[in-house]
Amino acid sequence: MGHNRDDPNPEDPMLAIDPALIPEHLRPVIEAMCRTGAELSRVIAKGPLAGKLGAGVGENSDGDQQKALDVMADEMFEAALRGTGVRYYASEEQETVLTLDPEGGYALATDPLDGSSNIDVNVTIGTIFSVFAAAESAEASFLRPASDQIAAGYIAYGPQTLLAVTFGAGTMLFVLDPDSGSFVLSEDRMALPEAAKEFSINASNRRHWTAPVRAYVEECEAGREGAKGKDMNFRWVGSLVAETHRILTRGGTFLYPADARPSYGNGRLRMVYEVAPMAFLVEQAGGKATDGTRPILSLTAEELHERRPFVFGSAEEVDRIAELHG
């Protein structure tokens, strides 16, 4: 449970989250992520009062536009993780891996601010992170089977600031108490509902979809008169953290597939920063995550900023999508 203090101090390393809920060897890392997430949530809550957070300030190494808040979040997490035992820091916002602590035992990958296109419209955005044991090199630390992750999580900045995290023994959910400044345990073991009533995909790309993806969406759209025998609701937020949290909470399925557009042959989401950590969280909550056919946790990234098709959610639906891929 969170620590209640009369005068909460965000710099207190014991304030952000109950240390008894974190593996001892990872406490400094997770505490740093929590403290920085709490600080970032305060900046986000100010909206335009904190400046033009959604202003474009350039492009990252993949050619995606960076927002001012993307860069700010990256700088905040990088600074906070120094001295916590993180040897290698890989960020979606940086071209190469940084060495923070040469003697550290961990490698942390992060999308510091996921869903930044939604900054100006007050939609839930978030931070995604993944932790590996550091290997002999920066490259070997991240270009390895996704099943090697020892922790993964996201911090969602919305009506509540939430932390979902797994250490390989289930997925826990915490809520940031604005009075104490603590992340307080809300669910000690999230369970993704087995039955799906919703599906999520960017329908504006329908003309570019492969036949199996189109077939699955048409099954969903057919409702109770179709093969599913039930009505399915369509959802699309455009923020991976928001989509994942909704599915973890009430079931459903998410698809960001490969399609026929130039540069979309491997989808658009990054394996190291987005796909692998979310797959770990989803599977630890009883769901499934694939690239359409193969389990994500069985796959290995070959490049730091590699993209990967991503399908996850209720197991029955994910299995059906794999079946349609043949």
Predicted local confidence at residue 46, as pLDDT: 86
Residue 315 in any domain: the answer is yes
What is the Cα–Cα distance from 292 to 14, expressed in whole angstroms?
A: 41
Final residue before a domain boundary, out of 128, 159, 187: 187
- Is 6 within any annotated ligand binding site? no
- Identify residue 120 by its one-letter amino acid code: D
Predicted local confidence at residue 7, as pLDDT: 40
- Written as tens digits, the pLDDT of the chain (326 aa) is 333 333 444 444 345 788 889 999 999 999 999 999 999 999 998 877 766 665 565 555 555 667 788 899 999 999 999 999 999 999 999 999 999 999 999 999 999 999 877 878 889 999 999 999 999 999 999 999 999 999 999 999 999 999 999 999 999 999 999 988 899 999 999 999 988 899 999 999 999 999 999 999 999 999 999 999 999 999 999 899 999 999 999 999 999 999 999 999 999 999 999 999 999 999 999 999 999 999 999 999 999 999 999 999 999 999 999 999 98
Q: Burial-class residue 274 by CB neighbours within 10 Å (0-12, 13-18, 19+).
A: buried
26 and 172 in a single domain? The answer is: yes
Predicted local confidence at residue 20, as pLDDT: 87
55 and 165 in a single domain? The answer is: yes
| Domains in the chain, number | 2
23 and 160 in a single domain? The answer is: yes
24 and 162 in a single domain? The answer is: yes
Predicted local confidence at residue 52, as pLDDT: 62
The tokens describing 125, both together, are 């955005």
Predicted local confidence at residue 29, as pLDDT: 97
Residue 59: how many other CB atoms lie within 10 Å: 10
Q: Burial-class residue 260 by CB neighbours within 10 Å (0-12, 13-18, 19+).
A: exposed
- Is 111 within any annotated ligand binding site? yes
Residue 326: how many other CB atoms lie within 10 Å: 7
What CATH number is given to the structural domain containing 43?
3.30.540.10
- Is 113 within any annotated ligand binding site? yes
Q: Which domain holds residue 265?
A: 198-325
What CATH number is given to the structural domain containing 210?
3.40.190.80
DSSP string, 57-119: EEE-TTSPEEEHHHHHHHHHHHHHHTTTTEEEEEETTSSS-EES-TT--EEEEEEEEETGGGG
206 and 272 in a single domain? The answer is: yes
Residue 145 in any domain: the answer is yes
Residue 139 in any domain: the answer is yes
- Is 120 within any annotated ligand binding site? no
117 and 174 in a single domain? The answer is: yes
37 and 158 in a single domain? The answer is: yes
- Is 60 within any annotated ligand binding site? no
33 and 177 in a single domain? The answer is: yes
